[in-house]
Amino acid sequence: MNRLRDDLREARQRFTGGADHDADLEATAMALNAVLTFLQAQGMASEAQPLIGLLGALADISTGREAPLLRPRKRGPGKPGKAHEYEAPLALASAAISLLIEEGSSEPEAAQQVARALESRFLSLPTSLRGNSQNWQALAEWRRKLHRGKKSAGIRAIYDKAKADAKENGGGAASLLSVIDELGKTAQTPPI
């Protein structure tokens, strides 16, 4: 387990959050390889087959070859929305807001607390709210859109899982805020 942790930390240190595509591909492959090595040591090599395919696809992309596994599917009408890698931290933040509300905070109090945590680390604020003391409102509105089904099913699944996991491990909103803090050390998020 220590080797896995060390290898993942090294990959995270190399990850630039979008500033260097090649470095990010390499760091992602390193992290995935660390997980695969761990799973193989646990006797789960056959169960990890899909991850081996993903590692091969990353290798193809890094050498300029097409990787069918990672080819975008044809999308339907309308705007494609933001990439999941950018909205995932906002899904975690929304889950933290929901948990704070369940723990007794009002929505504005919860959104303000989470917005402060995000701003102190990495959140790129919407242009219309930069310099405004009400930045939390954009985050609260993003959460409302999630609840109204205006975000992808994948993002909703991240929200639901994060909320359930935080409840299950007993950490509540505090555990999600610490995860957001860790993500913030390397992540870069576009405007809400």
For residue 56, pLDDT over 70 is answered with yes
Residue 192: the pLDDT is: 44
Q: What is the mean pLDDT of residues 18-29?
A: 86
CA angle 147, 150, 154 (to 5 degrees): 85
77: CB partners within 8 A, 6+ apart: none
Q: What is the CA 78 to chain-centroid distance, rounded? A: 24
Residue 98: the pLDDT is: 93
What would the pLDDT profile of 76-135 be if each residue is shown by its tens digit?
666 666 666 678 878 888 999 999 999 999 999 999 888 887 776 655 544 443 444 567
Name which of 38-47, 94-103, 143-152 the model is least confident about. Answer: 38-47
138: CB partners within 8 A, 6+ apart: 115, 125, 126, 129, 192
DSSP 51-62: HHHHHHHHHHHH
